[in-house]
Each structure stands twice: as structure tokens, then as C-alpha cells.
């Protein structure tokens, strides 16, 4: 499928390396993002710039989206100079963003009326998975459309799973975000408990990653936490957006989510620090460290630091 013309909207932390994989796979890629400078390195690699979502969608066979939230997907598709105006009949939209399942179903229906198929295909694996093309991609939508774009998805990820009809990919991604947030709480507590016992974080990560308590969060975020590296692979504010979607889904289905609610509160404490929302999700440990200080001296009030 190397001659396929591909549009790609959203060239941030996750989108940019994915465009790179498509270019190296031989695709002709037209890109658009809110800030052209973000696409500069991709243009140097051979991508073509479009001034609008419609420009990125015109004459392509497949349009990828990797934007922030449900309203952003709607704006890109159906807003002024939106992609839906330019998409040709028979093309496929692959939304790699994390949005609400209800939104995914609605957008799919609206595009189907124009003769365009849409797949909700959120990913997991973080910035590392995006750079290494090892993402897991959870796909909701028609099986025929998925098979048409599978060769492209295989350039981006290691595991592509057809979850079910439209919206199912986003529903499974919501489940993934529950596990990510709750696992992160466990990593923070384990590392701080080990610190109090004088055990090196490196020992914790090396020994426990191979046991029953091991997790992706421990192996990948544990080293960043211990090094004080809060640079974002996935930002706190984006995780909070995802957990809002999770809570809405839980409320709609009657599923209680107390652990998710606690994770939201911890992330909110990080957000209260200047620039906290733009830190990586491993910055949750900053909230725990603040709690440790307060527990040791309840009269002491401090800001959070890395």
C-alpha cells in the first residue's frame, strides 16, 4: 500500500512520530496542525503542508486524526474548512485520538451519510510506543474498512485489534485509562515506601518489574520518577481529559469508579502547581510527596516540586 495518499491532522508528541513512520513506509502524507512549526521536521522529511483540515483531506484515500478531545475531532471534521467537506466517497477516516464513545458513534454516522467510513482507533503505548511503532491500536467500526487500512496501521503499531462496532475502540481505551491511572498510584506508593526503607529505586524497578507486581507503569515511569524527570510523554491535563470521559462512561452505565476518582484528585493536586498540567503523568508522585511532607508536619504548607 506504499502509493496510498494519506492525510494526517495533529502532529504533536504522538502524531509526529506516526507521520514519520508513514513517510518511511513510502506513503505520500499531507499534514495539518494548529501550529505549522510543529510540522517543520516532518516537512523536511517529505510531508506536504495543508493550510486547513479540508486541504489535508482533499484527494486522499485515508485521513488520520490525532487531536485532543471530542470537540476537536468534531471541529476538524465538520467545522469551518472541515475535512468532511473535502473527503471523497469511499475514503476512510481513522481517528487515533481519545474521545468519548458516543462522539465516535455520532461522527461515524455523519460521515457515513457522505459515503465515508470512520474507524475509532485510539492507541496505547505512550510516546515510547509511538516512536518505536509498538502501539496497541483498538479499533471500532466496520471490519471491511479496517482491512483496507490495516497495512497502514501496521506501520504504526505492533498489535491491531478489531474490538467491535463504532465506539467500541473508544470504550476499550476508557478501560485502558482506568488501568493506567490506578497502576500509577501503585507505582508512586511503592517507590515512596521503598525510599522510606532506604531501598534504591533502581532495585525496586529491577526486582519488582519481573514479579507479580510488575507493570508497564513501573518499568517506564518508575525510572522517570526516580530521576525527577517530569517531561511529558503524556500530559497530566490530557490524562484528566481521558478520566473525565471514563467517569462519564461509568456514570452512564452505573459502574462505580472510586479508584479512578482518587487518581483524578491526585492529578488535580499536580495541576494546582504552576505548569503542572503540562507535566508528564509520572508527576503524580509530586502529589504524593506533598502528602508525605504534610503527614510529617501538618503545619507545613509547601508547593510541589519535582
Catalytically active residues, by annotation: 173
Q: Tell me, what DSSP letter sits at residue 87? A: P
Cell numbers placing 144: 471491511
A 10 A CB-CB count for 235 gives: 19
E strands, 38-189, are 48-49, 62-65, 92-95, 117-120, 123-124, 135-140, 157-164
SS3 state at 1: coil
Give me Rg for the CA atoms of the chain.
Answer: 20
As a whole number of angstroms, the distance between CA 101 and CA 119 comes to: 12
Backbone angles phi, psi at 104, to 5 degrees: -60, -45
Backbone angles phi, psi at 58, to 5 degrees: -65, 130
Cell numbers placing 47: 510531508
Nearest one of 217, 212, 210 to 183, comparing CA atoms: 217
Nearest one of 127, 142, 135 to 159, comparing CA atoms: 135
As a whole number of angstroms, the distance between CA 127 and CA 13 comes to: 7
Amino acid at each position: 500500500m506504499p502509493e496510498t495518499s494519506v492525510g494526517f491532522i495533529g502532529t504533536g508528541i504522538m502524531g509526529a512520530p506516526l507521520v514519520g513512520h508513514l513517510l518511511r513506509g513510502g506513503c505520500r502524507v499531507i499534514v495539518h496542525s494548529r501550529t505549522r512549526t510543529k510540522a517543520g521536521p516532518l516537512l523536511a522529511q517529505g510531508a506536504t503542508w495543508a493550510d486547513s483540515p479540508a486541504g489535508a483531506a482533499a484527494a486522499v484515500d485515508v485521513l488520520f486524526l490525532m487531536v485532543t478531545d471530542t470537540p476537536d475531532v468534531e471541529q476538524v471534521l465538520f467545522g469551518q474548512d472541515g475535512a468532511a467537506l473535502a473527503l471523497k466517497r469511499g475514503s476512510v477516516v481513522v481517528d487515533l485520538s481519545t474521545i468519548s464513545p458516543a462522539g465516535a458513534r455520532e461522527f461515524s454516522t455523519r460521515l457515513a451519510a457522505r459515503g465515508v467510513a470512520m474507524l475509532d482507533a485510539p492507541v496505547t503505548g505512550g510516546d515510547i510506543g509511538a516512536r518505536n511503532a509498538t502501539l496497541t491500536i483498538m479499533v471500532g467500526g466496520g471490519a471491511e474498512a479496517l482491512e483496507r487500512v490495516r497495512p497502514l496501521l501496521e506501520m504504526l503499531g505492533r498489535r491491531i485489534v478489531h474490538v467491535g462496532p463504532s465506539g467500541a475502540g473508544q470504550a476499550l481505551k476508557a478501560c485502558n485509562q482506568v488501568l493506567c491511572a490506578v497502576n500509577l498510584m501503585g507505582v508512586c506508593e511503592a517507590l515512596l515506601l521503598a525510599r522510606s526503607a532506604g531501598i534504591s529505586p533502581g532495585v525496586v524497578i529491577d526486582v519488582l518489574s519481573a514479579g507479580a507486581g510488575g507493570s508497564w507503569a513501573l518499568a517506564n515511569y518508575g525510572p522517570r520518577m526516580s530521576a525527577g524527570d517530569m517531561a511529558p510523554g503524556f500530559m497530566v491535563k490530557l490524562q484528566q481529559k481521558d478520566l473525565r470521559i471514563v467517569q462519564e462512561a461509568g456514570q452512564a452505565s452505573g459502574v462505580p469508579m472510586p479508584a479512578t476518582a482518587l487518581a483524578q484528585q491526585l492529578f488535580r493536586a499536580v495541576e494546582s502547581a504552576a505548569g503542572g498540567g503540562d507535566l508528564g503523568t509520572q508527576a503524580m508522585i509530586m502529589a504524593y510527596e506533598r502528602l508525605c511532607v504534610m503527614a510529617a508536619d501538618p503545619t507545613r504548607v509547601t508547593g510541589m516540586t519535582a
